[in-house]
Amino acid sequence: MDLNLSATQGMYVETVRRFVKTEILPGLLEVERKHAFPFSVVRRAWELGILNLSIPAVIKGFELDALSSALIIEELAYGDSGIATSAMCNDLANAVIAQHGIPSQQEAFLRPFVEEPLLASFCLTEPGAGSDNSAMTTFMVRREDGSYLLNGTKCFITNASFASQFTVFCKVGKPAGNFMACVIVPVPPPALEAIAGGFPTGREIFLPAGGCIAVGKPEDKLGQRLSNTAAVTFEEVVVTPEQIIGDRRRGFQYIIDVLDYARPMVAAIGVGLARRALAVTIDYTRERRQFGQRICDLPVARETLTAMWKKVELAKLALIKAAVTLDEKGSDRGLYASLAKNAAAEAAIFCANEGLHLHGGYGFMNEYEIAKLARDAHIIDIYEGVREVQNMIIGREIC
């Protein structure tokens, strides 16, 4: 395996690094304290072409391999993992359309994201069905005219307050049904002034075809405050057959396909955060002196920094393996996606926590970025499948 980046991949990385340096990092802590959604940053990312990475060439004009996408997401996360999560979730919502949608669906549901800086939401998790997707109760029932009515509630939905399209997984026929479907629900985009304000309080969307979508007040989260998260309730939403992706009985397989793509991208977020935690900690320990020498020169501190560096490098190797296996459509892509996700989450939490420790009392102050990174890191171990679920997948695949 050649671990050197191609010229094109190197260009992507340098472009995003410049973007992060000029658009994200300046004033980051102040913006984060306001909890305001950074739509101006999202718009600029869209203008640069580093949003909507999963859209196929037939719609977008060019196509990115999984490794290039992961490198872009990693660099975004080096700036802020919340912004990277919002960007990645556009692909999480749209990847299933790219993978299983027919050409007319790709044109209808993906083309708008090429033409405007829109946001999408991936609606899978429910209040009573987190890791156990089979326990979801959101369902659609067929009507005499061939359309369906969609009802149910999803929680922890990224981009929900500002989404112009919802990708929804649901049961077919009844809440306790055995089959799952994937449906796309486009909605009118929110007013630009609402997006620019960045402080949504809730949202009620009445659809022209019938039904209502109620988006709750954004969640007040421990970390990743620059990523919008809210609950979404679908009330008698009319769904036509054209909005159903693929076979309405194979939704569970589509979930697996999307998560095999998403987990390496989550790993990329973890690697980016871990790298940032290591970088700010090295900078701090080079400047701060104790016992007559730089903290980074103290043997106990250097040992910790070395352990942090090793975690970052091993997680990056796992990420590369997962992305390459995904690009090659390997039968073991799910195995390496889970490995990368767990390795990156472990690196992010370890580096953020140990970095905070090496900052001493200053690390506990919100004016230092390491405190933010410590808050942000924990969700990487949770979303898109908790650590234990990844271990279950790994155990199933190797036994």
User: Residue 192: what pLDDT?
Assistant: 59
For 41-72, b where at least 16 C-beta lie within 10 A, e where not — what string?
A: bbebbbeebbbbbbbbeebbeeebbbbbbbbb
Residues 330 and 384 in one domain: yes
* Residues 43 and 90 sit within 8 Å (Cβ to Cβ): no
User: Residue 195: what pLDDT?
Assistant: 67
Residues 326 and 378 in one domain: yes
Pairing of strands 165-172, 120-123: parallel
Please give the residue range of the domain that contains residue 364. Answer: 252-398
Residues 225 and 305 in one domain: no
User: Residue 189: what pLDDT?
Assistant: 87
Q: Looking at the domain assignment, is residue 151 inside a domain? A: yes
**Which of 94, 115, 136 is the last residue in one of the domains?**
115
Residues 191 and 298 in one domain: no
Q: Looking at the domain assignment, is residue 2 inside a domain? A: no
Chunked into runs of 10 residues, the chain (399 residues) has average pLDDT values of: 85 97 96 90 95 96 95 98 97 97 98 96 94 94 97 97 97 95 95 64 92 96 96 98 97 96 98 98 97 96 98 98 96 97 98 98 97 98 95 95
Residues 394 and 276 in one domain: yes
Question: Tell me, what CATH number does 84's domain have?
Answer: 1.10.540.10
Question: Tell me, what CATH number does 130's domain have?
Answer: 2.40.110.10
Q: At 133, which helix (H) or strand (E)?
A: none
Q: Looking at the domain assignment, is residue 242 inside a domain? A: yes
Residues 45 and 25 in one domain: yes
Q: What is the pTM of this model?
A: 0.96
Question: Tell me, what CATH number does 288's domain have?
Answer: 1.20.140.10
User: Residue 23: what pLDDT?
Assistant: 97
User: Residue 196: what pLDDT?
Assistant: 62
Q: Looking at the domain assignment, is residue 1 inside a domain? A: no
Residues 389 and 270 in one domain: yes
Other CB atoms within 10 A of residue 279 CB? 15
**Which of 196, 222, 248 is the last residue in one of the domains?**
248
Residues 88 and 154 in one domain: no
Q: How far is CA 193 from the centre of its chain?
A: 25
Helix (H, G, I), strand (E, B) or coil at 228: coil
The number of domains in the chain is 3
Other CB atoms within 10 A of residue 332 CB? 13
User: Residue 131: what pLDDT?
Assistant: 86
Distance, in Å, from the CA atom of 166 to the CA atom of 127, rounded to the nearest integer, reads 18
Q: Looking at the domain assignment, is residue 167 inside a domain? A: yes
Q: Looking at the domain assignment, is residue 234 inside a domain? A: yes
Residues 256 and 390 in one domain: yes
Closest C-alpha to 93, from 55, 133, 39: 55
Residues 190 and 203 in one domain: yes
For 340-361, b where at least 16 C-beta lie within 10 A, e where not — what string?
A: bbbbbbbbbbbbbbbbbebbee
Residues 165 and 273 in one domain: no
Token pair in block for residue 359: 């900052």
Q: Looking at the domain assignment, is residue 294 inside a domain? A: yes
User: Residue 198: what pLDDT?
Assistant: 65
Residues 259 and 391 in one domain: yes
Q: Looking at the domain assignment, is residue 264 inside a domain? A: yes
**Which of 63, 98, 115 is the last residue in one of the domains?**
115
Distance, in Å, from the CA atom of 74 to the CA atom of 335, rounded to the nearest integer, reads 20
* Active-site annotation, residues: 384
Distance, in Å, from the CA atom of 377 to the CA atom of 307, rounded to the nearest integer, reads 17
